[in-house]
Structure 1
Amino acid sequence: MATLNFIADNIPSEQGKTILITGASSGIGKETARLFQSKGWNVIATMRDPENETELKQLKNVLVAKLDVLDVDSIQNAFADGVKKFGSIDLLLNNAGYGAYGPLEAFSRDQVLRQFNTNVIGLLDVTRTVLPHFRENKKGMIINVSSVGGKMTFPMGSLYHGTKFAVEGISESLGFEVAQFGGQVKIVEPGMIATDFSGRSLVFNNDENMAEYQNLVGSLMAAMPTMAENSSPASVVAEVIFKAATDGTDQLRYTAGEDAKMLMANRHQYDDATFIGGIKSQFGLK
């Protein structure tokens, strides 16, 4: 029995570790906060409007903090509040973001900047805030929520896919850097998720005066319900995030959702012309 107790005492425990999550007010972020809290983690659940959050505030060892990735002061304040409450941070989950879809010509420059500032520059600002802490502690993991849309594209998504392709490159390269002090970077690539992505997390722009694009716009709108039928609940992504955080491997990319697995398998199997031809066929395009 003493031997069994010795073994149990020396099994690495995830309990008592701390995760900081951006975009935790709903969807993937909120489900991840719930899951990690249920597994014994401390959770810093950050969002733009924490005054509207009620459920997470009721959970033990959860700090709900204000963080807007477009506001550097709010990033630094949320980080400082989290360290003050829990002592240190072990894992950063960069989850905050949204999707801008529509013809590129239909977006103003300000809208283009907002998409990249939110999904890319904001992610970098949060990461740069946490990195010195990880470096000082000689450990720490960053998990970036990308998308299958960071490895392949759908029509009308040049802005969104551009940001997710950027997240992929940032993550892969940053992994070399943080490894120098014992850190790690991982990427989670969900497919279509049954959250509010089609609501407040999606911005769609169109100008009907641009007649050349309207067939493509119509095809995208017609395909959306079918794509949504194959979506996964946000809890599926949360489970993949937890696996990435705790599996003890050096695996870089994790696909989340059955539709994502199928799309990625096809992307790896076929050449560009064949794969893009399949996407065109799916959307009824020539």
Structure 2
Amino acid sequence: LNLTGVKLYSLDVTNEKSIEDSFQAAIKDFGKIDVLVNNAGYGGVGVFEAATKEQIQKQFDTNVFGLMNVTRAFLPHFRENKAGTLINISSVGGQITFPIYSLYHSTKWAVEGFSEALQFELRPFKIKVKLIEPGPIKTEFYGRSKELFRKPELKEYDHYMDVTYENVNKAGANAQGPELVAKMILKAANDRSYKMRYPVGGNAPFYLAMRRILPNGWFTGLVRSIVEKGL
């Protein structure tokens, strides 16, 4: 990648030294940081019972604790400058859930709760907190950035897993491109208001609206219908 004014840094969100080194390098090169986008994450897919302790820990280390570690490293800079925008990439799955995404969605619910609390803490310092909530987007989430949880001895789940997994893959195949999310991130970064949530792509706005409007029993029935018939 060779773009004017763009510098790339290697950053591992699960390694605090890597985070600090990248932060210091960016400060050295640019003098000031205005926007932090927390985008690192991957999806663990499968029924919860099939996930190992190590897989559960890894999912939260990347999607939640890594995001928190990066945020913690950058906040003093924002606070001292009385300015800054923190953008956390969440998901439509941060407010609603689908089967076989129990781990991934639980990390996104954590990101949503963390971000919502953080906006109160940081507003006195004029720091804005934004959440980008994508629906199905055509990225490597449906490829190499996905980890499948499955155990041969849990055959009772096989049919349910196969049907649900097929329908989820259909959603990925028909998803819109990542450019849509990139534009929404840019919009959020330039938004001077304290608006927090930005749903984008697929049926994300529809799902989130239905979550707010429908009684819980109706909404969960809608989700079951969607999963059984295909997203």
TM-score when normalising by structure 2: 0.95
Q: Does 2:93 match 1:140?
A: no
Which residue identity does 1:65 align to in structure 2? Y
Higher relative contact order (CA 8 A, sep 6+): 2
Alignment of 1:188 with 2:132, yes or no, is yes
Equivalent residues of 2:98, 2:227 under 8 A apart: no
Give the structure 1 partner of residue 166 of structure 2. 222
- Read off the aligned partner of 1:266 and give its amino acid letter: M
Task: Report the Cα distance in structure 2 between the residues aligned to 1:275 and 1:216, rounded to whole angstroms.
Answer: 20
Number of the residue aligned with 2:192: 248
CA RMSD of aligned residues (A): 1.3
1:92 to 21, 36, 56: 36
Tell me the TM-score normalized by structure 1: 0.77
Partner of 2:203: helix, strand, or coil? helix
Residue 226 to residue 200, structure 1, CA distance change in 2 (3 Å): closer
Question: Percent of counterpart pairs with the same letter?
Answer: 43
Instruction: Check conservation: 2:47, 2:149, Cα contact below 8 A.
Output: yes
Instruction: Kindly indicate whether residue 67 of structure 2 is the aligned counterpart of residue 123 of structure 1.
Output: yes
Tell me which moved more, 166-175 or 208-217.
Answer: 208-217
- Displacement of 1:154 in angstroms is 0.7
Contact 1:231 1:259 in 2 (8 A): no
Does the CA contact (< 8 Å) of 1:230 and 1:259 recur in 2?
no
The CA distance in 1 between the partners of 2:209 and 2:111, in whole Å, is 20
Gaps of 5+ in 1: 1-54
1:268 aligns with 2:219: no
CA apart distance, 1:218: 1.3
| Bigger radius of gyration among the two | 1
Q: Deviations over 1:176-195 (max 9, x none)?
A: 11112111101010001101
Give the corresponding residue for 1:161: 105
**How far did residue 75 of structure 1 move?**
0.3
**In the TM superposition, what is the alpha-carbon distance from 1:231 to its structure 2 partner?**
1.2
Count of aligned pairs? 229
- For 2:11, the equivalent position in structure 1 comes to 67
